[in-house]
A and B are shown apart, each in its own frame.
Chain A
Amino acid sequence: MNSLLRRFLMVEWSGILAAIILGSALLAWLSPAFLTEFNIYVMLRSFCVALLVGFAQMVTLAVGQMNISVGALGGLVAVLAGGMMEKLGVPMILAIPAAIAIGALCGLLNGVLTERTGINGFIITLATASAFTGINLGITQSIPFYNMPPGLVAFGSDRFFAFPYLMIAPIIATVLLGLFLSRTVPGRHLLAVGGNPHAAELSGISRGRITILAHTLSGTLAACAAILAVAQLGSAQPTIGSDWLLLSFAAPIIGGAALTGGHVSVLGTTLAVILIALIENGMVLAKVDPYWVQFVLGALILAAVWLNRWRAVKTGTD
C-alpha cells in the first residue's frame, strides 16, 4: 500500500471524510436539489443542534462517563427558557443565560451525585433523565410555549446566503472545546482521568472534581443545544431532546471516541455530525420514509466502529 494512503488511513476521521465526499458527490449527481442554496442552508441548520448534542455526550465520554440525561436535560432547559420568556416576561438577554445556567446546574447535580454516591454515572443519569422529563411535563402539561421573542426566532431562521446565523454558536463551541481539551489544564486532566483514573489520581489530579466538571460541561452544552432548538423551531416544545440520546452517542463514537474514556476527537465528532446531516438530507431528497433514518443511523454506527477497529488492526495502533 502506498504511504500516502496509509498515512491518510492513520488519521482516525479519514473514513468519515471519505464518506462525506463520496456521499455529497453521489447526492449532487442524483438530485439537482441537493446543491441549491436553500438545501445547503437546511442541512447546515440541522447540523447546529446535533453538533452541540454530540459534544455534550463527548465530554462525558472523554472522562470515561456517560450522560443518559442529555435529551431530558435539554428538554427541561428549553421549556424553562420558553416559560420564562412567555409567561414571566423575562427578557431574552436574561432568560437565555439563566436557562443555560440551569442546564449547567443539572449537569453539576449529575456529577455530584455520581461522585458522592460512588454509583455508576450511567445509573445516576438514567434516573435524573426521568426526573428532568417529569419536571418538564409537570410544568408544561405537554403544551409548548409558542410566543417566543421575534429576535430569537429570527436568529433561528435568518441566513446569509446559505449560512444560517444559528451556526455561529456551534462554531464558537467547536473552537472553545478544541482549545479546552488540547490546551488547558482542566481539559488535559479530563482526558487523563478518562485514560486511566488510578494513574491520574496518583499523579495528583482530583478525579472527583474532574468528573463533576465533565458532567457540568455536558449539561451546559446540552442546554446550549436546547436554546438553539427553541430558536430553530420558533417555539419551546416539551419534546425537544426526546430524540437526542442515540445521536449524542453516534456522533462522538463515529468520530472515533473511545467508550472506555480518555480519547475523543472534536474534529471527528464534527465530521460525524456532518455525515449524519448529509444522510438525513439525502433520505429526504430521495423521499425515504423518515423512520428509516433511525435504521440508517444505527447501521452507520456499526459501520464506523467496525472501520475504526479495522484501521487500528491494519495500522498496528491497536
Chain B
Amino acid sequence: MQLSIESVSKAFPGVQALDKVSFELRPGEIHALMGENGAGKSTLIKIITGLYRPDDGRVTIDGQEVSFQSPRDAIAAGIGAVHQERNLIPRFSVGENILLERLPTRNGLLDKDAIHNEARRYLDLLDRGIDTHTEVRSLSVAQMQIVEIAKALSLETKCLLMDEPTASITEHETEALFTLLKRLRDEGASIVFVSHKLEEVFAIADRVTVLRDGKNAALGEPMSTMTRQKLISLMVGREEHIVNKPQRTVETGTVLEARGLKTSFGHRDISFLLKRGEILGLYGLVGAGRSELARAIVGAAPVTGGEVLVKGKAADIRNVHQALNQFRIGYISEDRKNEGLILTHTIRENIAVTIWRRLAGALGLIRPSAELDAVMPYVQRLEIRAPSVEQKVGNLSGGNQQKVSVAKWLAANVEILIIDEPTVGIDIKTKAYLHELIHEIAAGGTSVLLISSDMPEMVSLADRILVMHDMRLVGEVANDRRYETVSNAIMNRIHAVEEERSTAATG
C-alpha cells in the first residue's frame, strides 16, 4: 500500500499538534516514526487510523484521496494498528479477542472450533505457547501484547501500525516480532513502527520520519544514511545527553532492610539493605516480580513471611497510608495512567494529594494559596510544561505526566522512594532530566530503590544493582559505571539461574 500524508495540520485548543506534517509509506517497507513525547506522533497515528480528522491537508491511499470518518473506515481500507493502550476484552478468550470484529458463525451461532483454529493460525506466527482458549485477563502483559499483534495481523492488513510494540515484551519476544515484521515486509506489507528505542529502529527500519514540535524534522530518510547521534539530534534538536556520573561513596546507615521476605506473589528469601542516600537498583526482566515486591514493601500487597525493617526497627506496614505517614516511604508506580495519577484532576490536585493533610489549618480547611505555594516550587523545578497548574493531567504529554507523578512524591518529602520504571515511554530530553533529578534526590539524602529494565539507565544511576529473577534475588552487582562489564555481570547471573534450572529439570 502506498499511503501518503500531505501537509496535514491538526489543532487542539491551545496546541497546534501537527503543523503541515507529511509522511509517506511505500509498499514493502518498514518505516520508523520517531519523535519526543508531544512531538505529534500519536496525533498523526490517530489521523491515519481514523480516530481524528485533520483540519487541513490530504491523506491518499494508492493515489486516491481518502477521508476516514471512523476507525472502521481505516480498517476497511486495510490499515491495522497495535495501539499502546490495550484494546482487549479481559473476559473473552484469546481466540475471540483476535477475531472479535468478524467472529465466524455456523447456523447463526458462534463456531467455537473455527474461532480457535483461525486464531491459532495467526498466533502461531508469534508464539505457540499461548492457548487460544485462555481468558485474556489471565495472561501476562507481554502475552497480551502478542495477542494484540496477532489481532492486527488477522485483519489481513496491507498497512500495519505498531505504536511502541516492544514496550512491555521481552528481548526474546522482540526478536521473534522483528523476524515476523521483516517477513511481512518482504511479502509486500507496509509497516509503520513507532518506538523510542533507537537500537530497535536501527535493527528493523528501512526509512525514518522524525517529528519535532508538530513539524517534520525528517521525512522518509533512509536508515542506511542515518547515525544514532544524527537521529537523536533530529528528535531533540541537540545531542543526546548521557548522564555519566562518577561512582559515589554512599553514607553509611541502613534505612530499609528486608529479611527473608515472602509474599503471596511467590517471592522467597528476599533480603537486602538500602542505605541512606543510596540509589539501589533492582534489575530484572519483565515478570521477574520487581513491581510486586515494591508493592509488598509499601503495604499495597500482603507480606506473608520475613520482615521489613525501617531504620533498624521492625516495621509492619499494612497500607500505603502507613508507609507514607509513619515510615515516610513513597512508591512511584510504573503505570502512571492507572495507578500514578488522577487524569481527570488538575496538576495542582495531583501533586498536592500526598500533602493535603499537612496543609490543613484551622477547622481542617486547606487554604488555596498555601496549596499553590506548596505545589509551585515542584512545577517549576521539574519544568512541568502546561498553560497553568489548573490544567487536567490527562491533557499533558507522557513526559509531563511522569514529572507530575514524581513531583507528588517529592512534595511528600519521603525518606525512602521506590521508583518503578521512571522513563518508560518518555522522550530522551525528559529522560535525561529525570535521571539528573534522581541523582539530586539521592544526593539530598533520600534513599532510592530504582526498578528498571533499561540497562543503560541502571548503569548510569544505581550505586549497586540487585538482580531479580523469577521472584528471587539472584545476585548483587557492584556498579563501576562500565556498561559492558556491568551488563554482562547482570545477564550472567540471570543465565546462570536459568541454566541451573534446566539442568535440574533434565537431570
Contacts and interface: CB of A to CB of B under 8 A. Distances in A.
B340 A199 contact: yes
Interface stretch (A89-97, A182-190, A285-293): A182-190
B320 A191 contact: no
Contact of B321 (A183, A206, A263): A206
Contacts of B319: 201, 206
Interface in B299-353: 300, 319-321, 323-325, 331, 333, 338-345, 349, 352-353
A203 B344 contact: no
* Residues of B in contact with A, size category: 35 or more
Given A185-B360, A192-B353, A199 B300 contact: no
Counting chain A CB atoms within 10 Å of each CB, which of B13, B323, B344 scores highest? B344
B482 interface: no
Contacts of B408: 203
Contact of A188 (B298, B338, B343, B356): B356
Nearest to A208: B319
A198 B342 CA distance: 9
Contacts of B12: 316
B63 interface: no
A183 B342 contact: no
A202 B356 contact: no
Contact of B320 (A179, A192, A204, A317): A204
Interface string B231-257: 000000000000000000000000000
Contacts of A198: 338-339
Contacts of B331: 202
B366 interface: yes
B321 A199 contact: no
Nearest to A316: B13
Contact of A195 (B342, B357, B360, B367): B342
A31 B12 CA distance: 46
A300 B320 CA distance: 43
Given A179-B365, A185-B357, A200 B344 contact: no
B366 A203 contact: no
Interface in A188-219: 188-189, 191-192, 195-196, 198-206
B392 interface: yes
Contacts of A202: 298, 300, 320, 331, 333, 339-340
A93 B368 CA distance: 37
A295 to B, nearest CB: 32
B365 A184 contact: yes
Interface string B348-382: 01001110110010001111100000000000000
A62 to B, nearest CB: 12
Contacts of B340: 199, 202
A191 B360 CA distance: 16
* Residues of A in contact with B, size category: 20 to 34
B339 A185 contact: no
Contact of A258 (B300, B344, B353): B344
Given A184-B364, A188-B353, A204 B343 contact: no
A315 interface: yes
Given A184-B364, A201-B300, A192 B321 contact: no
Contacts of B341: 196, 199
Contacts of B364: 184-186
Given A185-B357, A185-B366, A201 B320 contact: yes
A213 to B, nearest CB: 13
A170 interface: no
A13 B455 CA distance: 51
A204 B324 contact: yes
Nearest to B300: A202
A21 to B, nearest CB: 27
Counting chain B CB atoms within 10 Å of each CB, which of A195, A202, A258 scores highest? A202
Say what secondary structure dominates the interface of chain B: mixed
B338 A203 contact: no
Interface in B397-418: 408, 412
B342 A263 contact: no
B366 A191 contact: no
Given A184-B360, A205-B321, A206-B319, A200 B353 contact: yes
B357 A199 contact: no
A188 B354 contact: no
B348 to A, nearest CB: 11
B366 A184 contact: yes
A241 interface: no
Contacts of A71: none
Interface string A263-279: 10000000000000000
Nearest to A10: B13
A204 B331 CA distance: 10
B353 A203 contact: yes
A255 interface: no
A262 interface: yes
Contacts of A206: 319, 321
A204 B360 contact: no
Contacts of B368: 183
Contacts of B352: 188
Nearest to B330: A204
B344 A262 contact: yes
Contacts of A188: 349, 352-353, 356, 366
Nearest to B352: A188
B320 A262 contact: no
Contacts of B333: 199, 202
Contact of A204 (B13, B323, B349): B323
A106 B280 CA distance: 50
Contact of B356 (A185, A262, A315): A185
A205 B365 contact: no
B339 A191 contact: no
A315 B341 CA distance: 23
A204 B366 contact: no
Given A204-B321, A206-B319, A317-B392, A199 B342 contact: yes
Contacts of B338: 196, 198-199
Nearest to A186: B364
A204 B365 CA distance: 19
Nearest to B325: A204
B59 to A, nearest CB: 22
A198 B343 CA distance: 12
B346 to A, nearest CB: 10
Contacts of A317: 392
A35 to B, nearest CB: 39
A205 B325 CA distance: 10
B339 A199 contact: yes
Contacts of A179: 365
A262 B331 CA distance: 22
Contacts of A262: 342, 344-345
Given A183-B365, A185-B364, A203-B353, A196 B300 contact: no
Q: Which 3 A-B pairs have the closest CB atoms?
A: A204-B324, A195-B342, A316-B13
10 contacts: A185-B357, A188-B352, A188-B353, A188-B366, A195-B343, A196-B342, A198-B339, A202-B339, A202-B340, A206-B321
Interface of B: 12-13, 298, 300, 319-321, 323-325, 331, 333, 338-345, 349, 352-354, 356-357, 360, 364-368, 392, 408, 412
Given A183-B366, A183-B368, 8 more contacts: A184-B360, A188-B366, A198-B339, A200-B342, A202-B320, A204-B324, A262-B345, A263-B344
